[in-house]
Structures are given as C-alpha cells and as structure tokens.
C-alpha cells in the first residue's frame, strides 16, 4: 500500500493517478477516486474533443493569397543590396589596413617587449621573500598589541556608563 497525502491508494492500479493528483492539487479528488478507471477516458473521447477538422488548422495558419506574395517580396533583397550594406568601400578598407599596421608592433619592438617582461619577472624565491618580508610580524609584536588593547575591567565599565549617559 502506498500512502499519498490523506488518501490510501493501492499502488499498482493507480500509479498514474497518484502522479496526476499531485499536479491537480487535489482538485475534485473524491470524483477521481470514485471514477478512477474513468480517468483513462473512454476510448477516443479525448482526441475527439481536441482534434481540429482537417482543413481547419491549415486554414488558420495559412496566409491569405495577397499577404503571401507581400511576404516573399519583403524577404527577398535586391541582388546588390546585401553586398552594398556589408562590404567596405575601397577607401575605407585601405584606411582600416593602415590603422592596424600602425598599431601592430614591428618584430624588433616585439622582441624588446618580451625582453622587458622577462626582466621584470621575479624568480619564485624572490617573490616569496618580498611577500613575507612586508607582512610578517616580529614574534612578540602581536601579543604586545593585544595586551595594549585590552582594558582593565574598571575602565570598561566606566566607558560603558559614559556612553549610556550620552544617549
């Protein structure tokens, strides 16, 4: 037996039904329980109700004769139109070439650039040293700072009272 929400349903027979019930959010559950076999609707009843007549569907989706032609016309570009929009004029093209040529590094420059990068790069050991050198505290430093921060109990209470008075 499988218990589903508030209802007990013999599992094998109603498996599809229990799944359906969760989707339905228990809408008219009693009816469905009483007529569970009916859930699998009689024969072709369901198709019969939803199916369109054969021509009906085409009729609704098809464009009327006039608009069909118009659609084709709109889709088609004139032969030159497409190229005209995408292709650069000769002048533009040359200008573009020139611009890229100006920004591109010469071979010598490129080598120089690589060399510079190589010179600035640190060796793993150096990097390690530099990082720790700046951040590491002297052994007693941290403890000392903590000690300085800590207040005596009396000071703390006085400050607390002072703050309360302010508000």
pLDDT for 161: 86
Which pTM was predicted? 0.17
**Contact assessment for residue 155 and residue 163, using Cβ atoms and an 8 Å cutoff:** no
At 148, the pLDDT band (50, 70, 90 cuts) reads confident
List pLDDT tens digits, range 83-120.
666 667 778 888 888 888 777 777 788 888 888 888 77
Identify the DSSP state of 140.
T
**Contact assessment for residue 9 and residue 17, using Cβ atoms and an 8 Å cutoff:** yes
pLDDT for 118: 80
pLDDT for 58: 66
Domain spans in the chain, listed from the N-terminal domain onward: 2-41
Long-range contact set of residues 88-94: C-beta below 8 Å, sequence gap at least 24: none
């Amino acid at each position: 037996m499988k218990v589903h929400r508030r209802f007990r349903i013999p599992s094998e027979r109603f498996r599809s039904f229990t799944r359906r019930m969760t989707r339905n959010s228990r809408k008219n559950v009693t009816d469905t329980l009483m007529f569970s076999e009916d859930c699998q609707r009689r024969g072709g009843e369901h198709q019969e109700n939803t199916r369109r007549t054969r021509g009906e569907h085409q009729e609704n989706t098809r464009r009327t004769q006039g608009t069909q032609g118009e659609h084709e016309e709109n889709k088609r570009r004139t032969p030159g139109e497409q190229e005209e929009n995408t292709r650069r004029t000769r002048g533009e093209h040359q200008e573009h070439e020139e611009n890229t040529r100006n920004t591109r590094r010469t071979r010598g420059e490129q080598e120089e650039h690589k060399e510079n990068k190589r010179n600035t790069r640190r060796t793993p050991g150096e990097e390690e040293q530099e990082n720790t050198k700046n951040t590491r505290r002297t052994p007693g430093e941290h403890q000392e700072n903590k000690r300085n921060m800590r207040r005596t109990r009396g000071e703390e209470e006085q400050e607390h009272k002072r703050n309360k008075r302010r508000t």
